Amino acid sequence: MKKRIALLLILALALGAAGCAAPGGPEVVVIDPPAAYVTLPPDAYTEPSQGPVSPAETAVPTAVPTAEPTPEPEPTPEPIPVSVEQAIAWYEYYPLDYEPVEREKELPNHPIEEPRFAMGEDGIYHSSEADNDGESVIMLTGDLMCQTRQQEAGKTATGYDFRGSFDFVRNVFKKADLVVGNLEATLSESAPYMAEMIDVEERPHLNAPATFLEAIRDAGYDLVVMSNNHNCDTGVRGIYDTLDRVDEYKLIHTGLYRNAAECRYVVVDVNGINVGFMSYATYFNHKEEHLTSDGVRILLNPYSKEIVERDVAAVKAAGAEYVMVYIHWGVEYENVPAEEQYVWAQELADAGVDYIIGSHPHALQPYDRITASDGRIVPIVYSMGNFVSHQKKVVTKDTIILRIKLARDENGNIYMKDEGYIPCRVFLSYKNRDYAVVPVSYPYNGGDYSEYFAPAYERITGIIGNTIDIMGTL
C-alpha cells in the first residue's frame, strides 16, 4: 500500500492538472505540465512496438520538395464527470471506514447575501465596492476550523450557529478590500460530523456543518483557500459536497477541485490591482490512498516546485500582477519552521511568488523576508496558526490578522506599500461567545481588558519577530 501511495503522489506531482474553463464557454485551456522523470514499476506501462526499420528510413535523403510541417494536434481536454456518482467511480479507489449518514441539508440561519465580488467576463473577480484609488488592503488569517467542541457549542434547536466566534474581529475586517482565510474542514452532510465521530482511520475527522460557512461569510471573508491535510476526510463525495457548499455561500475559493478543467488559481481585482492566489498542501493524512492516481492529480493540489512554476506562469498570463500562495506544511504545534519549509519557501520565491503564507502547524511561526533568484524580496509568514478552533494548548490559541497594503507606482508597477499584523487570541469563552477570536492590542480590542491579553501579546510578538510592524499597543 505504501508503494501505491508513493506512486500516486509521484504521478500527481508529475502530471498535475493545470487547465481551466474559460468564462462563459466550454473551452478548456490546457497548459502542459513540466517534464518530469518518473520511475514506474515494470507492470505499470508497456513500451510501444517500434517494428523493423526500413532502409529508406536510415538512408541519407535526396533533395525533395519541402512539405508543409504537420501542425501539432490540439490537446484533448480530459473528460469531466457528469455526476458525483461518476466522479466516485473515476476518482475513488476505495471508501473511507465510516457509515454514510442520511440527514437533512443544513440550512443557513439567515438568507445568503450577495457577495461584493463577482467574476467578470475576463475571468477575474471584481468588487462592487472598489474605488480604484491605486491601493489595495488585504487581510489574511490562518486556519478556520470547526471541531468537536465548537460543534457542540454551536448546536441550536434548529441547526448550528457559529457566528459569535467572529464578533470581535468583524469590524476589523470591514477595513479591508479583501479578506482571506484557510478553510480547514470538509462540509458534508453525507458523512459524520466531528462531534459524532472524532477520528476516522486513526486520524482526526474534520467534517463540519455547512453553516460554519455562514459564520465565515458573516465575519467578512471573501476568499477561502482549501488545500490542506483534511481534504480527503470525507472522500470524493465529501469533496464535491464541500465545494457545493462553498459555492452556495458564495465564497471565492481555490485549492480543491471537481475536475481537470477548473483553474488551479484565482485572480481577484483588489481595488484596481489584480492579485493571484494559489493554495497547496504537502500532506494529506495518508487518506489520499483512498483516491485513484487521477483523483489525487485532479481533485487535490499537492505541492511541487514544477507545479508551482507552471501555475505562476498561468496565473500571470491570466492577468495577475501580484501572486500570493498559501501552503500547508510544517510540524504541528511547533513555533520553529521545519528545515524543509525553508527549502520550499525558496522554491516558491524563485518560481515567482510575491508573498507566502504558511498553514498547518496550528501554531504561529516567524515572519521573514527572503531573496528570490531574480532579486525580489519575498515576505513570508511560515505559519499563521489557528484563527478559530477548539484546541486547548496555549500554542494553538495565539494568532494574528496579517494586513498588507499594495500600491501602484508612477510606472504602473505593484509594490508593497505597508504591512503589519494585529495580535489575537482564541478564547474558549469570551463575553458569552464560545471559541471567540479577540484582538489583544488596542484599539482593535475596543478597549477591553483581559488578563490573557498581555501574555498573548508578548508570546506573539516574540515569535513573529521585529521585521514587520505590530498594529496597536497593549
pLDDT tens for each residue of 70-115:
777 777 889 999 999 999 999 999 999 999 999 999 999 999 999 9
pLDDT tens for each residue of 208-245:
999 999 999 999 999 999 999 999 999 999 999 999 99
Task: Identify the pLDDT of residue 37.
Answer: 24
**Number of domains making up the chain:** 1
- The answer as to whether 60 is a domain residue is no
- The answer as to whether 191 is a domain residue is yes
Number of alpha carbons in the 13 Å side-chain half-sphere of residue 362: 16
The answer on pLDDT for 11 being more than 90 is: no
Measured in degrees and rounded to the nearest 5, phi and psi for residue 262 equal -80, 140
Contact 221, 192 (CB under 8 A): no
pLDDT band, very low/low/confident/very high, at 59 (cuts 50, 70, 90): very low
Task: Identify the pLDDT of residue 189.
Answer: 96
Quick one: average pLDDT of 288-315?
A: 97
For the chain, percent of residues with pLDDT exceeding 70: 85
- The answer as to whether 351 is a domain residue is yes
- The answer as to whether 51 is a domain residue is no
d(CA 290, CA 203) in angstroms, rounded, equals: 14
The answer on pLDDT for 443 being more than 50 is: yes
Give residues with Cβ within 8 angstroms of 295, minimum separation 6: 90, 91, 92, 93, 236, 288
Most confident of 19-23, 36-40, 236-240: 236-240
Order of strands, sheet of 364-371, starting from the edge strand that comes earlier in the sequence:
117-119, 125-127, 266-270, 273-281, 322-328, 355-359, 377-384, 364-371
* Cell 488592503 belongs to residue: 137
For the chain, percent of residues with pLDDT exceeding 90: 83
3-class DSSP assignment, residue 319 = coil
In which domain, by residue range, is 170 found? 2-32+115-470
Task: Identify the pLDDT of residue 331.
Answer: 98
- The answer as to whether 94 is a domain residue is no
Burial level of 134, CB count in 10 A (0-12/13-18/19+)? middle
What's the CATH code of the domain at 315?
3.60.21.10
- Of 152, 174, 187, 176, residue with least CA distance to 219: 174
pLDDT tens for each residue of 391-410:
999 999 999 999 999 999 99
The answer on pLDDT for 453 being more than 50 is: yes
Report the range of poorest mean pLDDT among 67-81, 154-168, 336-350.
Answer: 67-81
Task: Identify the pLDDT of residue 48.
Answer: 31
| Residue, of 321 and 18, whose pLDDT is higher | 321
Give residues with Cβ within 8 angstroms of 87, minimum separation 6: 81, 236, 240, 258, 259
Report the range of poorest mean pLDDT among 15-29, 139-153, 182-196, 204-218.
Answer: 15-29
d(CA 153, CA 144) in angstroms, rounded, equals: 16
Give residues with Cβ within 8 angstroms of 345, minimum separation 6: 356, 370, 380, 382
- The answer as to whether 107 is a domain residue is no
3-class DSSP assignment, residue 316 = helix
- The answer as to whether 122 is a domain residue is yes
**E strand or H helix at 144:** strand 135-144
Rg (C-alpha) for the chain, rounded Å, is: 24
d(CA 474, CA 441) in angstroms, rounded, equals: 5
- The answer as to whether 93 is a domain residue is no
Give residues with Cβ within 8 angstroms of 93, minimum separation 6: 289, 290, 291, 292, 295
Task: Identify the pLDDT of residue 134.
Answer: 84
- Of 96, 48, 314, 107, residue with least CA distance to 203: 96
C-alpha cell at 243: 465545494
